[in-house]
Chain A
Amino acid sequence: MSLCRPWRPRFAQAISVLWLALPAGLFAQEPTPSALASLEFAPLEFRQPDPERHRVDPGVEVFFVEDHSLPLVSLFARFRGGPSYFSREAQGATTAVPLLLRSGGTLDLSPDSVDQLLEFYAAETSFGGGGPSSFSSVNTLKRHLDEVLEIWRSLLRDPAFDPARVEVWRGQRLGAVRRRSDAPARLAIAKFNNLMFEDHPVGWELRPEDLEPEDLAPEVLRSIHRSIYCWGNLTLGVTGDVTWDEIRPRLERLLDGWPPCDDDLEPPPPPTFSVEPGVYLLPMEIDQSTIIMGKPSDVRLADDEDYYAAQIGNSILGGAGLTSRLARRVRTEEGLAYGVASVWTMPRRSSGIIAATTQTKSESTVEAIHVIAQILGEVASEPPDDAEVRDAIDRIANGFVFNFETPGLIVSRQMIYESQNLPLDWLPRFLVGVQSVTPAAVHEVFRENLAPNGLDDMVILIAGDPARFDPGLEDLGPVRYLDLDEVVPRP
């Protein structure tokens, strides 16, 4: 191919049609790096939209952003209380409730009627729950707003938990449990959480015994529904083609007569991490291993130096795509994996984990573990370059405008801050916080959380075929075998 000379983007068109035929070096073209250096960008003129904050009787907080660009309206509901607030035995039911709100009918509409109406109005709904919260949203053409809101209100407040639909859901969940080993990477993540968090909600996976019919009896589902879906737990968000004066009376109707909460839900106790570091093997006869290496970390979501340094550190380590260290070494240089990343969970009120994960062909499993360990050791031993820290900060600061791309993003973010007891100006605070991070601070937070050799104290989970590892796992110390049949019920 002859297109192999420095490129000057602004050459005259008259000569461009000939340039393929000309010998190399004839054009003194400007190299791209110097052209980049000479680019000048105007300041970004942008007024950050702040959501309006209202309170609607009987006292529900509402975040609102008007947006008339399309004839659509979206409503978001977030409830304090989710699966982690309930016992291990109730996990089947707590997982079921949000989904059965949508599919199980209401006191005055059969499940079929709900389906027919929502699809006839072409409304989109979502219902879900995870960890400490439950949520729902609805999106509709403005002209169907009243009809759709009426249905949404019934779904959230007056669910029927129709037994036939409960049975459909039960079969689907049992099927999902059976199919876990069809997705080895996801299975490995679930098993890793189980190892790390043990008998804590984060480590729980649904088991067949959580899905017995009596676990999903109507009175069980109704009890959980009453505990979570009461107005004291509720925060609302609204965006779209409506004014506040238009939506306010509709919200008042939505909330009229909504039951209060009987009791305060108690959050789960913080996790205790007692798993022994070392190698855990989940044998599976597949061509590619999933590797997860991690350990507990006590960095919390808070307005402090450690949190901001850990955010920048994770970006440098493996949280920022191809430019992070893990991707550069494991993927780009060694060609060992398609995907590799680090994860640093920083919960608000308890400890989290720092981990790295990848998938590689069976033969290079141990090699990949050693490369990852080396990188973990490096960040624990030496501060990052100034340029790495600056790049990580620039990614956040220069892309800050994307936090305001859609009104839905703005509103739902404020609802999360509210639920996490974060200040509502958390986003600008976060920006200031990360901009003050130094290489020394990143080094310090890595040093506190990782061993100098990257392996000590690590829990290493491998899902793969040990007969094909080359070399084997011997170098990594004793191997504890996990039983796939305990993780996945077999047919």
Chain B
Amino acid sequence: MTSGHSVSGATLRGLVALGLLAVPVVTWADEGSSQVLTGEQLPVVEHELANGMRWLVLPRAGAPTVSFIVQFRVGGVNEARGHTGIAHLLEHLLFKGTETLGTRDAAAERALFVRMDALQDSILALERRGDTTAVPLIRERIDSLETQARAHVLPNEFERVLSTNGARGLNATTDYESTTYFVELPANRAELWFLLESDRMANPVFREFYAERDIVAEERRLRVETNPGGLLFEAHMAAAFTTHPYGQPVVGYMSDIQRLRRPDVAEYFRRYYGPSNAVVSVVGDIDSDQILAWAEEYFGGLPPSETPAPVLSREPVQNGERRVEVAFDAEPRVRIGWPIVETTHPDAPALSVLSWLLTGGRTSRLHRRLVLQDRVATAINSSIGPGVRFPGILTIDAAPRFPRTTEDVEAAIYAELDSLQQTLPSEREIQRIRNQLEASEVRRLTSNLGLALQLAGSTSAFGDWRTTFGFTDLLAAVEPEDVRRVARQFLTREHRTVATVVRPDSVAGR
């Protein structure tokens, strides 16, 4: 399954995806009639089970399909040094079936798990001693035991059952602050999801562990180690966040991935996948009473869970510009980031509008100047992220237009920022952004899955699905002076972190 790195972070567009924005006015069709509703009036049915599991149900006319989201409030920020990638590996392993699904003999499998895991611990002990001569042989024995265990496995049965029932879009994503599982089903087969998902929350079996760990290593090679954009992102985040876990990659460092242990993953699951750490949203052609009855029936019996420890790390104030280079045989590109505030901070709306003003569309400041006018860059974007719950960074990333350099691009960006810090944006620029906000909020409601993601994301991050709608009003209230003020306050030389891709030969030649 995929891992979302939240590379684009939370620009206005990103905030929409996270459920932070919504429509001020929506025409909502219900049983053939249309009525105009404000965002907060959407007929979302809220329910909390006795074990703390939160449910959001939104019946919606249309094709008889239903979208399911279950989101857990856990991700890369909940990982300790040396264990990066554990949330993401767990996400993969939750597609491996349960005590009774995907197996012919779970007890026989477990007996082999014990032996494999003991061998893995032996490898770790040898590595700590610095004596690794026996490691290849032990790895072969683990492979052999996993092959034996596979004789008891019905591979990918979880996906097979769902897909043969017509499911679409079965997948999951691990982010910095949440892990999200999603699928769509024909509406008449909705109960199937309750059966499978409740079984997965209660009785997961982390089978085929070592092969899946290898798969995640391949995913890292694909997304990061052979990908200059991925390498640049990782280096930039590590430089910008020296203390907060935003500086660690969600996919995990290779040396960590290759040493993750099954018992540690099981303990991580126990700690973070309890019902009180989960939000479910269900959107589609469904009866909310029936959905909530199934919620009680299938999930009500899950035992209450402990509250995970909060993330207390806070990034210290940055004193001075930081620069980092990634030497890779690729065309140059640059990322510039400035520390900002968390999404609920009063300055967050003005920063979002600032990001939009800089790169949101062809008439945005930086696109016009760097791409169209000066032709310094072929593309330029900005984002706010990488999460929403902790202070993040506002990032501008750009690709120079040959033969221009990253230095040329930086200089042009700083010149435009200087202009913005001196001169107020025009009312027309701000109005354009407000118009786009309104339209994009309507468009975000076109799919059941999109709505389900917004409802769950807003609730998981902020405790209330309505926050999604309230944020729109805050954005619409941003004035030109607010934008200039935050540009002056946050986009300063001493606070920025700059990362560039350079060719190895250019480094060697210095």
Q: A16-B302, A323-B163 are in contact. Are A182 and B331 (CB under 8 A)?
A: yes
The reply to whether A175 and B95 contact each other, CB–CB distance below 8 Å, is no
Chain A residues whose C-beta falls within 8 Å of the C-beta of B203 in the assembled complex = 3-7
Q: A321-B159, A395-B166 are in contact. Are A43 and B199 (CB under 8 A)?
A: no
B300 to chain A, nearest CB (A): 5
Q: A13-B300, A401-B166 are in contact. Are A46 and B331 (CB under 8 A)?
A: no
B470 to chain A, nearest CB (A): 21
Q: Which residues 190-226 of A have a CB within 8 angstroms of B?
A: none
Q: Is B361 an interface residue (CB 8 A)?
A: yes
The reply to whether A333 and B155 contact each other, CB–CB distance below 8 Å, is yes
Q: Is A183 an interface residue (CB 8 A)?
A: yes
Chain A residues whose C-beta falls within 8 Å of the C-beta of B27 in the assembled complex = 68-71, 241
Chain B residues whose C-beta falls within 8 Å of the C-beta of A167 in the assembled complex = 375
The reply to whether B34 and A401 contact each other, CB–CB distance below 8 Å, is no
Bits for B27-39, please: 1 = Cβ < 8 Å to A, else 0: 1110000100000
Chain A residues with a Cβ closer than 8 Å to the other chain, count:
97
A34 to chain B, nearest CB (A): 8
B450 to chain A, nearest CB (A): 11
Chain B residues whose C-beta falls within 8 Å of the C-beta of A11 in the assembled complex = 301
A21 to chain B, nearest CB (A): 10
Chain A residues whose C-beta falls within 8 Å of the C-beta of B61 in the assembled complex = 69
Q: A1-B269, A16-B301 are in contact. Are A44 and B198 (CB under 8 A)?
A: no
Bits for B317-360, please: 1 = Cβ < 8 Å to A, else 0: 00000000000011100000000000000000000000000000
Stretch from A53-61, A324-332, A433-441, A442-450 forming part of the interface with B: A324-332
The reply to whether A183 and B163 contact each other, CB–CB distance below 8 Å, is no
CA distance A182 to B27 in the complex (A): 45
B137 to chain A, nearest CB (A): 17
The reply to whether A406 and B447 contact each other, CB–CB distance below 8 Å, is yes
Partner of A9 from B26, B199, B229 at Cβ < 8 Å: B199
Q: Is B118 an interface residue (CB 8 A)?
A: no
A280 to chain B, nearest CB (A): 19
CA distance A171 to B399 in the complex (A): 12
Chain A residues whose C-beta falls within 8 Å of the C-beta of B99 in the assembled complex = 4-7, 31
Chain B residues whose C-beta falls within 8 Å of the C-beta of A286 in the assembled complex = 225-226
A197 to chain B, nearest CB (A): 26
Q: Is A398 an interface residue (CB 8 A)?
A: yes
Partner of A359 from B150, B214, B221, B304 at Cβ < 8 Å: B221
Q: A32-B195, A175-B402, A335-B212 are in contact. Are A168 and B166 (CB under 8 A)?
A: no
Q: Is B385 an interface residue (CB 8 A)?
A: no
Q: Is A42 an interface residue (CB 8 A)?
A: yes
Nearest to A45 among chain B residues (CB) is B64
Q: A10-B297, A398-B165, A402-B184 are in contact. Are A323 and B156 (CB under 8 A)?
A: yes
The reply to whether A16 and B303 contact each other, CB–CB distance below 8 Å, is yes
Partner of A43 from B188, B362, B378, B446 at Cβ < 8 Å: B188
Partner of B218 from A69, A332, A360 at Cβ < 8 Å: A360
Chain A residues whose C-beta falls within 8 Å of the C-beta of B70 in the assembled complex = none
A395 to chain B, nearest CB (A): 5
The reply to whether B226 and A288 contact each other, CB–CB distance below 8 Å, is yes
Nearest to A180 among chain B residues (CB) is B331
Partner of B443 from A41, A124, A335, A338 at Cβ < 8 Å: A124
Q: Is A184 an interface residue (CB 8 A)?
A: yes
Which residues does A use to contact B, with CB under 8 Å?
1, 3-7, 9-13, 16-17, 19-20, 31-33, 35-36, 39, 41-46, 68-72, 103, 112, 115-116, 119-124, 139-141, 164-165, 167-168, 171-172, 174-176, 178-179, 181-185, 241, 285-288, 320-323, 327-328, 331-339, 359-361, 391, 394-395, 397-402, 404-406, 491
| 8 A–B contacts from the bound complex (CB under 8 Å) | A41-B191, A141-B438, A183-B227, A322-B159, A332-B155, A332-B211, A395-B166, A404-B63
The 6 closest A-B pairs by CB, nearest first: A398-B166, A335-B214, A399-B166, A335-B211, A16-B301, A122-B439
